[in-house]
Structure 1
Amino acid sequence: MALTAMGVQNPEQIARFAIYMTDRTDILRIVYDRKKGSILPVSKKFRFAQIKKSTMVDSGTRRTEVLYESAPEFRNAVAELEQLMDAREDSHHVSQLIAEEVHALEEDVASRIDYIKSLVEKL
């Protein structure tokens, strides 16, 4: 939902993402896997201003310190992207496992067919 709120319309086309920080701004760069000849951009950058927070460091002197933290929208978007990438990796792993099982089944069927053919030749 965070990606949708940011305007990302095709999350299934996301190939990877990168995050970095400059001048108290978190930057999220999303790279898409586009088909050749597509007029859509290959990557998109989103900027999120960090939130300024004052935190009490010493309650005796009431001394505070200014800290900056990532915006909730940024954290939600990164969490959603990580879930998307993990799900895609799991899906890829499962499809690879299925392909291996199909290959093993094909070998078993081929050997059974050869065995049956040898029995027919003996008749």
Structure 2
Amino acid sequence: MRKNLALIAMGVQNPEQIARFATYMVDNTDILRIIYDRKKGSILPVSKKFKFPQIKKSTMVDSGTRRTEVLYESSNEFRNAVSELEQLMDERADSHNVSQLIAEEVRALEEDVASRIDYIKSLVEKI
């Protein structure tokens, strides 16, 4: 199964370059701003905005008077895009945590090896 289908449908070609994202709402429109981590001198934009009109729904508030109220909710495309971005950020954070764990284990191993070498040297001096 392909990943990031909603992002690809929006025209995001390099999801691995996404640094972070922000969402906000203006006049019943959901706005998704994606901020990229670009190399210095790149002519590609640092951020890009996507607008998603909210879906207008009428719901019955009081069945006795048949009074309805208009509600707005986010579109499926917006929710799918945000979900994919959150998953992408979580995966990136998990891989960063794993790399930190490996670095700590290497440091601990280096300390253990250094202490064993010192111990062996002390034994050699006793001979």
TM-score, normalization by structure 2 = 0.92
Structure 1, unmatched stretches of 5+, are none
The DSSP-based 3-state class of the residue aligned with 1:38 is coil
Q: Report the Cα offset of residue 36 of structure 1.
A: 1.0
Partner of 1:103: 107
User: 2:70 matched to 1:66?
Assistant: yes
* Percentage of matched positions with identical amino acids: 87
Amino acid at match of 2:6: A
Partner of 2:98: 94
Q: Report the Cα offset of residue 39 of structure 1.
A: 1.2
Q: Report the Cα offset of residue 46 of structure 1.
A: 0.3
TM-score, normalization by structure 1 = 0.95
Deviations 1:72-108 (A, max 9, x none): 1001101111111111111111111111011000110
Q: Report the Cα offset of residue 70 of structure 1.
A: 0.6
* Match 1:31 to one of 22, 35, 40: 35
Q: Report the Cα offset of residue 119 of structure 1.
A: 2.1
**Superposition RMSD in Å:** 1.0
Separation (CA, whole Å) in 2 of partners of 1:35 and 1:114 = 45
Structure 2, unmatched stretches of 5+, are none
Partner of 1:112: 116
Separation (CA, whole Å) in 2 of partners of 1:74 and 1:15 = 19
* Match 1:12 to one of 10, 16, 24: 16
Amino acid at match of 1:102: V
